Amino acid sequence: MPKKFDQEMEKLDNEIRKMIDISKKMLLDAVESLKTRDSELAKDVLSRKNSLYDLDNRIEEHALKVLILHQPMASDMRKLACLLKMITYLTRIGRYGYDIAKITLEISDQPQVKKLIDIPRMSRVVSSMIEDVTEAYFTEDLSRIEDLEERDDELDETRYSIFRECLTYMMEDPKTITRCSHYIMVARYLERCGDHACKVAEKVHYKVTGEWKEIS
């Protein structure tokens, strides 16, 4: 491929790095705002949505121009295909952060039903998954995603644990129903973010090897 193509791909990599940072930080900051009942942090998360969406549109447009103008083959074509799918999943992860921040604003004036431990732990697991799949994308080191399914299983188990615990609280005290319903929803959002990280990993695996592998 000519030098111009390499330059364009480097620009795309820089853009996707920015999107990864925004998406992941929206999610982590949203969970932190929920944990600490920090309305200002939640509002700050909400304000980042447009930046996330703008990057999604800009990267897609840029990638399609590269595809049309340079008509890449083989691994270069797979990289562009992977990148175009990645931005969709990153947008969804950031959007879940946005939704969690909205929940913070809804219940920020109410006390915690319990000390939030499992939800922040889920967010850390998701963050590690995002970091590893994106590092695998940039370095083509697939060892970073070998245990992704195990971490996804951990998220599933924690989500159901939160669900069962919240049911107990709601049955014991109906006043907790709204807050516990939100906790259950947040756990679901985080579990879905893990699923999105697994989907990115599938695309990265194909990018590197040219072979499909289900990771979920």
Asked whether 69 and 81 are in contact (CB, 8 A), the reply is no
Q: How far apart are CA 152 and CA 198, in angstroms?
A: 8
Q: Alpha-carbon torsion 136, 140, 143, 148, what sign? A: positive
Asked whether 92 and 196 are in contact (CB, 8 A), the reply is yes
Lowest average pLDDT, out of 12-16, 89-93, 117-121, goes to 117-121
Question: Which residue's structure tokens are 């924690």?
Answer: 158
pLDDT in tens, 153-195: 999 999 999 999 999 999 999 999 999 999 999 999 999 999 9
List the alpha helices (DSSP H) in the chain.
Answer: 3-36, 39-47, 49-70, 74-107, 118-139, 148-172, 177-209
Decide if pLDDT at 140 tops 90: yes
- Residue 72, both tokens: 């890449």
Which pLDDT band holds residue 128 (cuts at 50, 70, 90)? very high
Decide if pLDDT at 1 tops 60: no
Instruction: Write down the CATH superfamily of domain 3-209.
Output: Phosphate transport system protein phou homolog 2; domain 2 (1.20.58.220)
Q: Where are the domains of the chain?
A: 3-209
pLDDT in tens, 94-123: 999 999 999 999 999 998 887 777 999 999
Average pLDDT, the chain: 94
